[in-house]
A and B are shown apart, each in its own frame.
Chain A
């Protein structure tokens, strides 16, 4: 069985070629912006020139290296908050899917939590959890709870009658139905919820930092802004983008690996891996 794949060399070249027009456009835009600033079309101190932003980035990352600590702190706040919120959300969702009664009495409170803008809780959370990382983690956890909860529950509760009938005809026990049917079927929605949750957790961490904190990219950005150091502020904002992209692509990677049957490229790779394992076991 031949595998119709392009040789890796052409694949990389293709990607590089497609990247070039984007790179050109970006350089053009930055160039125009810089030009406009130098000529005097953009005079406001509020809009720093790209070279100033670049200098700020250099200073933050290389010369003074101040950003790494803050970067790491915000990242930790977001991730830990996400893990806590996600665990509680998934746990409650699983419990709700297994017990109709539990679901019925948990749902109203989940709805109330959803309908309240979580951000409104920020001052209270800070009063309760203090000025350190604790409050940021708490807000992140609270904000990311609902999307994960509702997506996971929807995923677990959805019923495909044909599949239910198949499992019933095979005499599967409720535990087997849960493990072999409900959980895999719920994974796509679960991951969709996790992606939203991770983004929301980052927002929670950053907003809590705005309100009250000493460390973190949110605070840094806030501080630079109020010192009217716009270049550094934007440089810090870009770091936040980096955190966001990091989190997003990590989740994409996990999604791709765990819910492998959704993407064609992964299906082929998973097929091959399965073939190797199985044929190996069969001694071929």
Chain B
């Protein structure tokens, strides 16, 4: 199932003139964004606070509606949360009264009645993220990193092929974050999902992505889209290579220029 070598050229997420303002147009969270995202690619949105990266993510997810322009997913406009898109947040946001397994099953429960196959899938996903032994533990019994891994399993439960992640590992220490990022890339490549990942960490953005959307603030906008042609799978050591550093410099320059 390794599709990353043959990334089909079809566009699964596209935006035309996507903009979002709040408070009757006085606050411009995102100014006209145009983008095309190919199936199976990994896109990072990076920038300082107020650059509109979280807003853009939520526009793609359907949680908020654009004030101008349109977002298309699988050639249909996004007008609300949908089953082919799955989202993960900065906080694990697990429900304390449910076991890890039941938390992973939550999206399936919302969409309908979980079948035996769904339950097996949830359990397998927990094993995939290394929490097989903790399937029946409660969030209070899990560490921060473990909770985020449960959230990751929950993200994958519905089998949606568009994955949106909003700084999911930001609250964790660097070692856990690196480990989870590597895991994420592996899983995403294996299932062939298209991923959009928000972060404020430049290295992380480049390390994970095929394309980096560099976003600047005041007003929030996509300043530049940088292609990352580094080898896959990405070893951690690639972060010290000259190509990587050149990309970092490029991003910094874009951020500094505005």
A contacts B directly (C-beta below 8 A): no
Residues of chain B at the chain A interface (Cβ within 8 Å) = none
Residues of chain A at the chain B interface (Cβ within 8 Å) = none
